[in-house]
Amino acid sequence: MCYTYTVPDLNKRRPENTQGPFYVDATCIDCDACRWIAPASFREVDGQSAVYAQPAGDAAQMAALQALVACPTASIGVTDPALQARTKDAVASFPRVIAGNVHHCGFHAENSFGAASWFITRPNGNVMVDSPRFAMPLVRRIEQLGGIQTLFLTHVDDIADHEKWARHFHCRRVMHADDARGLNIEHPVHGRAPHRLDDELLVIPTPGHTRGSACLLYADKYLFTGDHLAWSPRRGHLVAFRDACWYSWDELKVSMRALADFRFEWVLPGHGRMHHAPAAEMAAALQRCLDWL
C-alpha cells in the first residue's frame, strides 16, 4: 500500500502551536476532526486548531498521526522523520474500529467540510455512511474487507466523492429524494415514514438541517445522524446545529421528537462528536436535547 508523506509548508505553521514536531498550519478549516480523533493533542484556538500538547508515547502519537491522515486539508504537519515514517501505519489503520463491526473511515473530505464517514462490515452486505475522500489506501483496505454494497448518504452536504465510490464498488446509493436531485441516486427514499432497507438497516427521514436529511439506524444500536444530531462536549448533551440549519428549525424539532420512538446506543454524526451510552441513558440524553431545543 503506497503512501507518501509530504510536510505542509512550515512557513504557514500557526504560532498558537506548542513547540515540538506536530503542528497545524494556517490552512485549517476548523472542521474539528483532529480534536476528536486526538483530543489530548489538538484544541481550537481563535477559530482554528492548534497543537496544545505534543503527543507523548506510542498511543498518543498514533492518534495524532491518524488526525494528520484524516485532516481534509492536509493542515497538520510533523517534522520528526521517525514520526513521518509512522504515517504509513496511521494510513493502514483506516477504517479503524469504533465498536464491533462499525468503523471510522478517516480520510475526511474538504468538500464535505471534513465530515466523518463510517463503514459497517456485515455478512449481508457492507455499508458506507457518507463519503470520505476517494483515497487509494482506503479503497484497497475496503476491498480487502469485502467492498461496499450500500452507500448511505445522510444529506447533500456530505456526499464528497460518492460517485467515485459508487462507480468503483458498483454499490447502490441510498439517499432521501429531497436531497438527491440531479445525483442519479439508485435508491431514493421518499416521504417522512421510516424506510426499511433490510432486517438491520432502517432509514429515518429527519428533515431540518436540509430538506432531505435522514438518519440510518443499524441493528437498533447505531444511529448515523449526519448533521442532524451530535454530542456537544461544551454543553454536555446532545444537540442540533441551529447556526447550520439550512432548511427549517421547526421541521428539525419535529424530526428530533420522532427519533424518541427508536432505541439506539450510539450517535455517530458527520459533524460534532459521537456519543455512546446504554439505550435508557441515550433516551434520557435525547430528551435533554428536546428540552433544550
Is 32 near ligand SF4 (CB under 6 A)?
yes
* Helix 279-292 with 249-259: angle, nearest 10 deg: 160
Q: How far apart are CA 105 and CA 191, in angstroms?
A: 29
CA dihedral 225, 89, 45, 31 (to 10 degrees): -30
* 158 binding ligand SF4? (CB under 6 A): no
Give kind and range of the element (H or E) at residue 173. Answer: strand 172-176
Residue 65 interacting with ligand SF4 (CB under 6 A):
no
**Least distance from ligand SF4 to the Cβ atom of residue 15, Å:** 15
**Shortest approach of ligand SF4 to residue 30 CB, angstroms?**
5
Single out the residue of 8, 22, 24, 259 in contact with ligand SF4 (rule: CB under 6 A).
Answer: 24
Q: Does 73 bind ligand SF4 (CB under 6 A)?
A: yes
Q: Which is nearer to ligand SF4, 39 or 147 (CB)?
A: 39
Q: Which is nearer to ligand SF4, 23 or 222 (CB)?
A: 23
The window from 57-65, 66-74, 126-134, 171-179 that contacts ligand SF4 (CB under 6 A) reads 66-74
Which positions from 188 to 227 touch ligand SF4 by CB under 6 A, shown as an x/- string? ----------------------------------------
Q: Which three cell numbers stand for residue 214?
A: 435522514
Check binding of 72 to ligand SF4 (CB under 6 A).
yes
Q: Which is nearer to ligand SF4, 63 or 71 (CB)?
A: 71
CA dihedral 173, 179, 180, 181 (to 10 degrees): 180
Q: Rounded distance, CA 40 to CA 56, Å? A: 10
Task: Establish how many alpha carbons lie within 13 A of residue 151's alpha carbon, considering only the half-sphere containing its beta carbon.
Answer: 27
Neighbours of 197 (CB within 10 A): 18
Beta bridge partners of 144: none
Cis peptide before 95 (omega within 30 of 0): yes
- 28 touches ligand SF4 by CB under 6 A: yes
The reply to whether 33 sits near ligand SF4 by the rule CB under 6 A is yes
**Is residue 41 a contact point for ligand SF4 (CB under 6 A)?**
no
**Contact track, ligand SF4, 43-62, x by CB under 6 A:** ------x-------------
Under the criterion CB under 6 A, does residue 171 sit at the interface with ligand SF4? no
Give, in degrees to the nearest 5, the angle at Cα 269 between 93 and 77.
45
Q: What is the DSSP letter of 26?
A: T
CB of 152 to ligand SF4, least distance (A): 23
Q: How many residues sit in the footprint of ligand SF4 (CB under 6 A)? A: 15
> For ligand SF4, which residue of 63, 64, 65, 71 counts as binding (CB under 6 A)?
71
- In the range 92-121, which residues lie near ligand SF4 by CB under 6 A? 114
Torsion (CA) 91, 143, 139, 120 in degrees, nearest 10:
-80
SS3 assignment, position 286: helix
Structural contact between residues 15 and 151, judged by C-beta atoms closer than 8 angstroms? no
Of 31 and 252, the one with the shorter C-beta distance to ligand SF4 is: 31
Residue 141 amino acid letter: R
Binding site for ligand SF4 (CB under 6 A): 24, 28-34, 49, 71-73, 75-76, 114
